[in-house]
Amino acid sequence: MRKPIIAGNWKMHTTRAQARELAAAIVSGCVGLSDRDVLLAPPFTALSQVSREVSGSSIIVAGQNVCWQEQGAFTGEISPAMLFDCGATAVIIGHSERRQLFGEDDKLINRRIHGALAAGLLVVFCIGETLAHREAEKTLDILKSQLHWGLTDLVGDSLASVIIAYEPVWAIGTGKTASSGQAQEVHGFIRAEIGRMYKKEIAENLRILYGGSVKPDNIDDLMAQPDIDGALVGGAALDAESFNRIINFTQQI
Mean of the pLDDT values across residues 192-221? 96
Burial tier of 250 (Cβ tally within 10 Å: 0-12, 13-18, 19+): exposed
- Quick one: pLDDT at residue 251? 73
Measured CA to CA, the distance from residue 215 to residue 90 in angstroms comes to: 23
- Quick one: pLDDT at residue 173? 66
Residues constituting the chain: 253
Contact 80, 69 (CB under 8 A): no
Q: Is the pLDDT of residue 205 over 80?
A: yes
Mean of the pLDDT values across residues 227-241? 97
Read off the pLDDT of residues 62-102 as tens digits, 9 standing for 90 and up.
Answer: 999 999 999 999 999 999 999 999 999 999 999 999 999 99
Supply the pTM of this predicted model: 0.96
- Quick one: pLDDT at residue 175? 66
Read off the pLDDT of residues 111-160 as tens digits, 9 standing for 90 and up.
Answer: 999 999 999 999 999 999 988 888 888 999 999 999 999 999 999 999 99
Q: Is the pLDDT of residue 239 over 60?
A: yes
- Quick one: pLDDT at residue 179? 87
Is the CA virtual torsion 51, 160, 179, 99 positive or negative? positive
Percent of the chain with pLDDT over 90: 88
Tell me how crowded residue 58 is: count the other CB atoms within 10 A of its CB: 12
Measured CA to CA, the distance from residue 73 to residue 169 in angstroms comes to: 32
180-197 and 139-150 helices, crossing angle to 10°: 40
- Quick one: pLDDT at residue 174? 67
Confidence of residue 54 (pLDDT cuts 50, 70, 90): very high
Q: Is the pLDDT of residue 252 over 70?
A: no
- Quick one: pLDDT at residue 253? 53
Read off the pLDDT of residues 163-183 as tens digits, 9 standing for 90 and up.
Answer: 999 999 877 766 666 788 989
Residues with a known catalytic role = 95, 167
- Report the mean per-residue pLDDT for the chain: 95
Residues in contact with 22: Cβ distance below 8 Å, sequence separation at least 6, in sequence order: 10, 14, 238, 240
Which 8-state DSSP code applies to residue 250?
Answer: P
Q: In the chain, what are the domains?
A: 5-247 (3.20.20.70)
- Quick one: pLDDT at residue 171? 72
Measured CA to CA, the distance from residue 59 to residue 87 in angstroms comes to: 11
* E strand segments, the chain: 5-9, 37-41, 60-63, 90-93, 122-127, 162-166, 207-210, 230-233
- Quick one: pLDDT at residue 108? 98
